[in-house]
Amino acid sequence: MKIENNYNLSKLNTFGISVNAKFFVEIQSEEDLQELFKMEEFFAKDRSASGGKNNQKLFLGGGSNVLFIRDFNGLVILNKLKGITILNEDSETVTVRCMGGEIWHDLVNFTVERGLWGIENLSLIPGTVGAAPMQNIGAYGAELQNVLLNVEAFDISTQENKKKRIFFKEECHFGYRDSIFKNELKNKYFITAISLKLSKTPKPNISYKILTEYLDKNKIEVKNSKDVSDAVAFIRRTKLPDPTIIPNAGSFFKNVFLKGEVGEVKMKELLKIYPEMPYFKEENGSKTSVLIKIPAAWLIEQCGWKGKRVGNVGVHDKQALVLVNYGGATGEEILVLANTIIKEVREKFNLELSPEVNMI
């Protein structure tokens, strides 16, 4: 394990932003992690020498959900823990354990090749397995929390207590693109592995409108999970820009949710002015009140931003939720664009967009 200084991160974030990390390290094994814990004193000294100003630690997986605004004045830890294993199996289900440094889509392939059902709708989501629980990744009507059993993570928040902890699903406080790891436990745990419970018996989840339409139009009869995975991958490739060609971080904003009775009243008011505004009613976790989802992409499109370019940055022409770097952009330029969009959506609709991407 080698600690690098002033390490350039442009290849480690899908926005391709060129910033440096003061310290950088790759974790290939749990032993590396233990070795890093022993160096805690060194990093603590560096922090106190900076008057506590230096950022402490940042964990990076695929770098597909971050926007670097400036150099990172601390330690970047890259998760390179590898390995996918079948833990156990009964007549109906298979439990798969996957290390955090694996590429998410490689895990999807591992499962669909074995005929397992559960994460096929999450095909081609960029990033690593360790980052998946952070934001409870979701797409085409499925979410990680539907199949997740547990998350294994090291507590790195205190000097003495570098213990491994297992978080069962309920302890992860999953929500829409949200979890305990983005909130109370932000930067406190290093996710080493996750386990999923997948189904051997067919469980197609193909009611998401775009997916149903694609399958019908192409007369695809879903026989196994790979059929769904291939369909999702095809749809994604036509709508979302490939970050290796046009750097981006997927959806930059979250969809907008209106909650409860107040939300229903607000939705009615909006529909009076914008009768064509799309919205989707969902039950929330506790099933006590209604949640109304308004696609942020529609709001952005209505403000005239879809396909628009400003200097080195812009809004993708096929999916208005995606901000792109046309080359050489700084994080600041993306941030200015994002803030302009937020302001215009607020002024036009009185709705607040919030970023899905973590800004560092």
> Which residues in this chain contact ligand EPU in the complex, by CB under 6 A?
139-140, 210, 240, 250-251, 254-255, 278, 295, 297-298, 301, 306, 319-321, 356
One-letter amino acid at 273 equals: I
Give whichever of 74 and 250 is closer to ligand EPU, judged by the CB atom.
Answer: 250
The distance of closest approach from Cβ of residue 15 to ligand EPU in the complex, given in angstroms and rounded to an integer, is: 12
The distance of closest approach from Cβ of residue 238 to ligand EPU in the complex, given in angstroms and rounded to an integer, is: 11
The distance of closest approach from Cβ of residue 11 to ligand EPU in the complex, given in angstroms and rounded to an integer, is: 20
Residue nearest to ligand EPU (CB): 250
Token representation of residue 282: 């969902």
Q: How far apart are CA 64 and CA 248, in angstroms?
A: 8
Q: Catalytic residues, which ones?
A: 177, 251, 356
Give whichever of 13 and 150 is closer to ligand EPU, judged by the CB atom.
Answer: 13
Angle between helices 225-239 and 104-113 (to 10 degrees): 150
The distance of closest approach from Cβ of residue 158 to ligand EPU in the complex, given in angstroms and rounded to an integer, is: 32
Count of beta carbons in the 10 Å neighbourhood of residue 235: 20
Q: 128: closest CA among 107, 144, 114? A: 107
Q: How far apart are CA 2 and CA 35, in angstroms?
A: 10
Give whichever of 115 and 263 is closer to ligand EPU, judged by the CB atom.
Answer: 263
Query: Residue 93 pairs with which residues in a beta bridge?
Result: 199
Give whichever of 52 and 275 is closer to ligand EPU, judged by the CB atom.
Answer: 275
Long-range contact list for 343-350, CB < 8 A, 24+ apart? 344/303, 344/305, 345/296, 345/299, 345/300, 345/303, 348/299, 348/302, 348/303, 349/270, 349/274, 349/299, 349/302
